[in-house]
């Protein structure tokens, strides 16, 4: 059936290009067209599709990097005491004795033992996790496991502090670190390794080893298992070569076969580059242990009116140095 384009035009103002002669519009159709004009918008002009609908959110979460915590890589962590401990005491025993000339009726000469009880004070610290119900729901809409992320953040916060205590202890307590224990022997001083060539850097390490031999009166030798602590910046200098194109690291590995090198960022200090050469153990007794009372205590989960709260805590004893004579230190500046 053929459409009546003329009637459609007159009644609704709809015009189809049919190729036929144009039809003169009536006054009524002109009014309809005028009322339907696109130039008189009742809504805001369209500025395009909202960017929300063309934005792609990558589900992969990118972590912000923090300074590595590498002290525990150098020495073992060990539990001393518990959540209730206020003091941790150690027994240090020294054998004493003297001899005298033998005589059938002489009563001279006596052997004995002396014991001391040095102590350390633990420090307990805490952080909180707080999660609101609406906060959790909003994060879930974005594909984030918000509760898990906050638990990870709490563990990282506590462990960062623990690592710091292993190096510097806790001010005001009998709680010391690898860097500032008052029983450490004085550091030898040398020039910065950055100003040295490869041979001079190796000679500097030799001087540090000679200081360790002097402190221990020959109790250690080249075969003794040792750990050298230095900053990442100082470790770069181990790649320098001597006149025979042999780098420092190769020389160290050859002459100290049981030496382990661990980089710790905090060994770059304001006073200069700190380097420590530490005997791992002697006669089964470790030189250093990193002490804690609680590595992670998870306290009860408290339900609030529209959210949750939970405390996490730890306790540290710092670095327990049993025999300071087995640690030789050097400050290169």
**Which domains are present in the chain?**
5-35 (no CATH), 119-332 (3.30.2320.10)
In the three-class reduction of DSSP (H, G, I as helix; E, B as strand; rest coil), residue 126 is classed as strand
User: CA–CA distance from 6 to each of 18, 31, 167, 171 (Å)?
Assistant: 11, 16, 94, 98
Tokens matching residue 101: 């000339």
Residue 26's pLDDT is: 62
Residue 275's pLDDT is: 97
Mark the ranges of the chain whose per-residue pLDDT is less than 50.
none
Residue 55's pLDDT is: 83
Residue 36's pLDDT is: 53
- Residue tagged 């529209």 (tokens): 306
The DSSP line for 285-301 is EESEEEEEEEEEEEPPP
């Amino acid at each position: 059936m053929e459409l009546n384009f003329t009637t459609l035009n007159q009644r609704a103002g709809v015009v189809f290009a049919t190729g036929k002669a144009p039809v003169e519009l009536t006054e009524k159709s002109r009014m309809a067209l005028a009322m339907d004009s696109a130039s008189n918008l009742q809504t805001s002009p369209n500025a395009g599709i909202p960017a929300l609908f063309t934005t792609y959110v990558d589900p992969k979460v990118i972590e912000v990097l923090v300074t590595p915590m590498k002290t525990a890589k150098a020495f073992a962590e060990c539990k001393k005491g518990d959540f209730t401990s206020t003091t941790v005491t150690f027994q240090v025993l020294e054998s004493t004795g003297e001899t005298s000339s033998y005589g059938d009726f002489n009563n001279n000469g006596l052997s004995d033992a002396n014991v001391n009880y040095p102590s350390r004070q633990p420090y307990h610290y805490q952080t909180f996790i707080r999660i609101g119900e609406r906060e959790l729901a909003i994060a879930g809409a974005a594909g984030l496991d918000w509760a898990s992320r906050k638990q990870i953040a709490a563990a990282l916060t506590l462990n960062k502090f623990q690592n710091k205590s292993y190096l510097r202890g806790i001010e005001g307590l009998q709680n010391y670190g690898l860097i500032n224990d008052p029983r450490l022997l004085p550091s030898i001083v040398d020039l910065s390794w950055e100003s040295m060539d490869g041979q001079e850097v190796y000679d500097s390490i030799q001087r540090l080893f000679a200081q360790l031999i002097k402190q221990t009166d020959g109790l250690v030798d080249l075969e003794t298992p040792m750990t050298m602590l230095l900053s990442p910046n100082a470790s770069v200098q181990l790649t320098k070569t001597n006149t025979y194109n042999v780098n420092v690291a190769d020389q160290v590995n050859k002459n100290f076969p049981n030496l382990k090198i661990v980089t710790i960022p905090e060994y770059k200090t304001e006073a200069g580059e700190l380097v420590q050469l530490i005997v791992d153990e002697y006669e089964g007794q470790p030189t250093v242990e990193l002490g804690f009372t609680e590595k992670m205590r998870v306290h009860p989960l408290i339900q609030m009116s529209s959210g949750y709260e939970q405390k996490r805590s730890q306790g540290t004893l710092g670095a327990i140095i049993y025999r300071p004579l087995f640690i030789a230190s050097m400050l290169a500046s």
